[in-house]
A and B are shown apart, each in its own frame.
Chain A
Amino acid sequence: MQLLNTLLLTLSITLMYSSPLIFTALGGVITQRSGVDNIGLEGMMAFGACGGSIICYFTGSPWIGLLAGATFGAILALLHAFVAITAKGNQIISGIAINFIGAGVATFLTRFLFSGAAQSNSTINLGIPKLFELLGIDKSKSQLLQSAEIDITVIIAFMFAILIWFVLYKTKTGLRVRACGEHPGAADTLGINVSRIRYICTILSGVMAGLGGAVTSLAISYRYTPTVITGQGFIALAAVIFGNWKPIGATMACLLFGFAQALTVVLAGTSWLPSQILAMLPYALTLFMLVIFVSRSRPPKALGQPYFKGQA
């Protein structure tokens, strides 16, 4: 019983930590498959976390908060899209700039709205609904059910993963997106508007990263602070690569990262393995997997390269 309880707890913590990563990594998959690199996911998450938390606090609705997070992320992504697609600037440098701007504006805004404090007010009473609550299951009597309780956003994350997999691989739109990432010149000759597709995909990546950020601030930390987003954007980026630029693969990678983090929580205090070594594992594992599967790991061919109309 105790063991089962621990297992369920590990599972639910894994899912809790994974869900923001899944949202963000899916955004990364979308934009990178269209050929636009985005290492600004971190900044977009921070901005989304701030937007989600603030708007949720002022409107009293976590749903509007999530939408706001998505919008905030999209605004930053629009900036990145302009630099990367219209101006054909350097996408990596732009991403780094986005990271500075996202975190900077987020904390600036928070200080502005909460009289100088670097953190927003708590939204703990405005939490995102839990799964069992929504299903009407009474969990007050069962320890196991309490341990297994998850936020509804976890389910939404998985739904997005399936949706994006479907769109990318089973629809014409998805084919067009992938064409833009592999061979924009060929896509162009077929009458596909490369710039438009890339714009949409880049903005969508901001939407997803913003959602990921908002999920973090609304469901995990219950407020925005400058340290709410510390590296999740980069972890999501790693998950995109680990998952071989595929939605389901990236989702699995995020679950692995989330699991490692859950282990550090569950095993905290036990001397079985130092928690820092445990926390280090996913990154070492990513490197290791890249080495082993390097023949299978193949980024989109035109990733990171601006497309000039008429170029072969």
Chain B
Amino acid sequence: MRRFFVKVLKKPFSGVLIALIIGFIVGAITLAVGGFNPATSYGLMFTGIFLNTRRVMQVLINAVPIIMTGLAVAFAGKTGLFNIGADGQFIIGQVAGAILGYYVPMPGILHPIFIMLCAFAIGGLYASFAAFLKTKFGIHEVISTIMLNWIAYYFMNFIINMKSVKVPGSQHSPEIRDTAKITFFSREFRTSEAGEALIAKHPWLDSIVRTDAGFAILIMIVVAILLWLILKYTRIGFELRAVGYNYYAAEFSAMPVKRNALLSMFVSGGVAALGGAMFVMTTPYYISMLGSTEGYGWDGIAVALIAGNNPIGCIFAGLLFSGLKFGGSEIQSRLGAPTEIINIMIGVLVLCIALVPALPRLAERLEGKE
């Protein structure tokens, strides 16, 4: 029995698995303490998601922003940088999306591409400022990116509040042009006769036509695969990972560690900002004044941690997180069980991941006792 435990504890993936199980157990206990049947609650969460394809699609759509920020954090994480600033970079991307989507007239296909490239570049520059402060002045990126989060947040509110931007009588910016929207089908089409006819003819299209499904999903998958390929198969990816493993060894091997840190943060911030821009172009079509940030960056950190900084893993971790959130709102509306249970579960999950470095030691201890 003990030998089995030792073996399991030494496997890299078991840490996440154990964390998941503990997360669900603590969630169940919390629900039970709150007077809700855990089995019923989890059952409802599950059936709530898989009731129909439209709901599954919604989970996927909701997952895109947190997968993007997750990818951003994961990429930086692989290179030894902890990008806590994904939240701010995401916001910068949102601003870029809303402003360029409204003010720049452009033909159909070019418009979203232009916006996404700009968002990537602006977000990338914003994030690499933190890398610059680190390499030039030795200021830790955790600190600088927290500051940059706040600056981005107030910057967004400032932009929306400008007389020339704010829609009179509202708390948000004007809606972006139709050319900038990246959902597969427009909102008008969904309720139009042509839309009805299309669904009647091809029922399987229902979840695509009647939701905000769009190119963001495809782009997210492409980005994840690209990042994975870059890290795994390219020279620059190898160099970046080498810095993550051992900074001094990489520097000693004459790798340009400082330039690579800038590059890593540029890509990381770019991905987060791309997520922000795509978010605006997919659902709300504008940005609103916020009392606090929506926390997509923080969710992304949890996603990256659960995925062990693996880009492909981020997709699954993001889907898990998104599914849990969807299920959480389901049990809130059906059972009155607080949706915050999801935050507690995610928190416990992440806490267990903080404990992962302790697992091999625990295994060794068990071995020693044998």
Contacts and interface: CB of A to CB of B under 8 A. Distances in A.
Interface in B132-160: 133, 137-140, 142-144, 146-151, 154-155, 157-158
B18 interface: no
B144 A88 contact: no
Interface stretch (A124-132, A135-143, A187-195, A227-235): A227-235
Contacts of B358: 87-89
Chain B interface main SS type: helix
A79 B355 CA distance: 11
Nearest to A111: B338
B351 A290 contact: no
Contact of A286 (B147, B292, B346): B147
A277 B154 contact: yes
A97 interface: yes
B356 A290 contact: no
Nearest to B362: A87
Interface in B276-302: 291-293, 298, 301-302
Interface string B32-43: 001100000000
A107 interface: yes
Given A96-B305, A97-B347, A101-B347, A280 B154 contact: yes
A287 interface: yes
Interface in A54-113: 79, 83, 87-94, 96-105, 107-108, 111-112
Contacts of A99: 298, 347
Interface in B39-97: 82
Interface in A1-30: none
**Category for how many chain B residues contact A:** 35 or more
**Category for how many chain A residues contact B:** 35 or more
Nearest to A83: B354
B336 interface: yes
Given A92-B82, A108-B338, A112-B338, A101 B343 contact: yes
Contact of B350 (A93, A112, A286, A290): A93
Given A92-B142, A93-B305, A290-B139, A100 B353 contact: no
Given A100-B344, A274-B158, A290-B143, A280 B150 contact: yes
Interface of A: 39, 43, 79, 83, 87-94, 96-105, 107-108, 111-112, 116, 227, 230-231, 234-235, 237-238, 241, 274, 276-277, 279-280, 283-284, 286-287, 290-291, 294, 299
Given A276-B157, A283-B147, A287-B144, 5 more contacts: A96-B302, A101-B351, A103-B340, A108-B338, A284-B151
